[in-house]
Amino acid sequence: MSVIRGNRKVEWVDLGEGLNGDYDPSDPADVELLRFDVMERDDDEWVPLDDASACTQMPADSSDDILHRGATLIMDATYGKTSIKKVCEELSWINPDWCVDGFTRPPTVWPTRCVVVTDYRGDS
Q: What is the domain partition of the chain in residue ranges?
A: 2-114
Q: What is the pLDDT along the chain (124 residues), one digit of tens a residue?
A: 899 999 999 999 999 999 988 999 999 999 999 999 999 999 889 999 999 999 999 999 999 999 999 999 999 999 988 889 999 999 999 999 888 876 655 555 544 444 444 444 444 4
**Contacts of 16 by beta carbon, 8 Å cutoff, 6+ apart:** 22, 23, 32
The neighbour count for residue 66, using CB atoms within 10 Å, is 19
Q: Give the separation between CA 56 and CA 46, rounded to whole angstroms.
A: 21
Is 0.85 topped by the overall pTM?
no
Residue 108: per-residue pLDDT? 53
Residue 120: per-residue pLDDT? 43
